[in-house]
Chains A and B, each alone.
Chain A
Amino acid sequence: MRELTVSRPVFILLTAFFCAALSIIYLPILVMIIFSFNSGRYQTLPFREPTFEWYVKLVADSSFVDSFFTSLFMASLASIAATALGFLAAYAFSKAKIPFYSLFFGLILSPLVIPIILIGIGMRLQIVSVGIEPALWLVLVGQTLYVLPLAVINLKNRIDKIPKSIEEAGISLGSNKLHLIVFILVPICAPTIFATILLTFTFSFDEFVIAYFLTNFEITLPIRIWTSLVTGFEPKINAAGSAVFMFSLILGFIAQFILLFKQSGKQNGVEPRET
Chain B
Amino acid sequence: MIFLSLTTETGIGFDNFIYFFSTPYLIQALVRSLIIASASTLIAAIISWPLAYFVVFCVKEKWRPLFLLAILAPFWTSFTIRAFSWQLVLSDNGVISWLIEKATGSSVALGILYTMNASIFGLALFGSMLCTFTLYGALVSIDKKLVEAASTLGARPYQIFRDIILPLALPGWLAGIVLSFIVCIGDYAVPTLLGGGLKPVLAQIMLSILKGTYNLSQAATIATILAVTVIICASPLMFFRLFNRRRASA
Give the most central of A121, A126, A129: most B CB within 10 Å. A121
Contact of B1 among A25, A32, A43, A126 (CB under 8 A): A126
Q: Measured between C-beta atoms, what is the minimum distance from A157 to chain B in Å?
A: 12
Contacts of A229 in B (CB 8 A): 80, 84, 193
Residue among A25, A203, A249 having the largest count of chain B Cβ atoms under 10 Å? A25
Q: From known contacts A21-B71, A209-B188, infer whether A241 and B51 are also in contact, taking CB-CB under 8 Å.
A: no
Within 8 Å of chain B (Cβ to Cβ): is A101?
A: no
| B166-187 CB contacts (< 8 Å) to partner A | 178-179, 182-183, 185-187
Chain B residues with CB below 8 A from A18, complex form: 50-51, 54-55, 67
B4 part of interface (Cβ distance < 8 Å): yes
Q: Is A225 in contact with chain B by the CB < 8 A criterion?
A: yes
Bound: A241/B79 CA distance, A: 11
Residues in B with CB closer than 8 Å to A117 are 186-188, 203, 206-207, 223, 226
Chain B residues within an 8 Å CB radius of A248: 76-78
A15 CA to B59 CA, complexed, in Å: 10
A219 to B91, alpha carbons, bound, how many Å? 29
Establish whether residues A260 and B193, one from each chain, have CB atoms under 8 Å apart when the complex forms. Answer: no
Bound Cα distance from A26 to B183, whole angstroms = 21
B88 pairs with A252, CB closer than 8 A: no
Known: A121-B223, A122-B4. A5 touches B76 (CB 8 A): no
Residues of A within 8 A of B211 (CB): 212
Please encode chain B, from 118 to 149, with 1 for each CB lying within 8 Å of some chain A CB and 0 for all others: 00000001001000000000000000100110
How many positions in chain A have a CB within 8 Å of any CB in the partner chain?
A: 72
Chain A positions 1 through 44: 1 when the CB is less than 8 Å from some CB of chain B, otherwise 0: 11111110011011101100110111111011001000000111
B89 at the interface (CB under 8 A from A): yes
Binary per-residue interface labels of chain B (57-98) against chain A in the complex, 1 for a CB within 8 Å, 0 otherwise: 110110001011111111011111110111011010111001
A157 and B13 alpha carbons, distance in the complex (Å): 46
The reply to whether B65 and A261 contact each other, CB–CB distance below 8 Å, is: yes
Return B234 CB to nearest CB of chain A, in Å: 8
Q: Which of A28, A125, A222 contacts B89 (CB 8 A)?
A: A28
Query: Which of B4, B74, B81 is the one whose CB lies under 8 Å from A241?
Result: B81
Q: How far is the CB of B51 from chain A (nearest CB, A)?
A: 6
In the bound complex, CA of A28 to CA of B68 (Å): 20
Contact A1–B77 (Cβ < 8 Å) = no
Shortest distance between the CB of A214 and any CB in chain B (Å): 11
Known: A5-B160, A24-B125, A229-B84. A45 touches B98 (CB 8 A): yes
Interface size on B, residues (CB 8 A): 75
Q: In the complex, which of the residues B50, B53, B78, B161 contacts A222, with contact meaning CB atoms closer than 8 Å?
A: B78
Inter-chain contact B71/A121, CB cutoff 8 Å: no
**A residues less than 8 Å from B54 (CB atoms):** 14-15, 17-18
Q: Which of B77, B147, B186 contacts A118 (CB 8 A)?
A: B186
Contact of B50 (CB < 8 Å), options: A3, A14, A31, A202: A14
A124 to B4, CA, bound (A): 11
Chain A window 203-228, contacts with chain B (Cβ cutoff 8 Å), 1 for yes, 0 for no:
10010110011000000001001100
Whole-angstrom CA separation of A21 from B161 in the bound complex: 23
- Check B223 against A122 for contact (C-beta < 8 Å): yes
Q: For the complex formed, measure the closest distance between the CB of A75 and the CB atoms of chain B, giving whole angstroms.
A: 12
B55 to nearest A CB, angstroms?
8
Q: B12 on the interface (CB 8 Å rule)?
A: no
CB distance from B237 to the nearest CB of A (A): 12
Q: Assess A29 versus B147: contact at CB under 8 Å? Given A5-B160, A115-B182.
A: no
Q: Is A85 an interface residue (CB 8 A)?
A: no
Q: A121-B223, A122-B2 are contacts. A226–B80 as well, Cβ < 8 Å?
A: yes
Residues of chain B with a CB closer than 8 A to A126's CB: 1, 4
B79 to A121, Cβ gap below 8 A?
A: no
Q: What mask results when residues 93 to 118 of chain A are scored 1 for a CB within 8 Å of chain B, else 0?
A: 00000000000000000001111111
Beyond A43-B94, A256-B69: 16 further Cβ-contacts under 8 Å? A14-B54, A15-B58, A17-B51, A21-B47, A28-B85, A115-B226, A117-B188, A117-B223, A121-B210, A125-B223, A126-B1, A225-B80, A241-B81, A241-B84, A248-B78, A257-B65
Interface set of A (CB-CB < 8 Å, partner B): 1-7, 10-11, 13-15, 17-18, 21-22, 24-29, 31-32, 35, 42-46, 112-119, 121-126, 128-129, 199, 202-203, 206, 208-209, 212-213, 222, 225-226, 229-230, 237-238, 241, 244-245, 248-249, 252-253, 256-257, 260-261
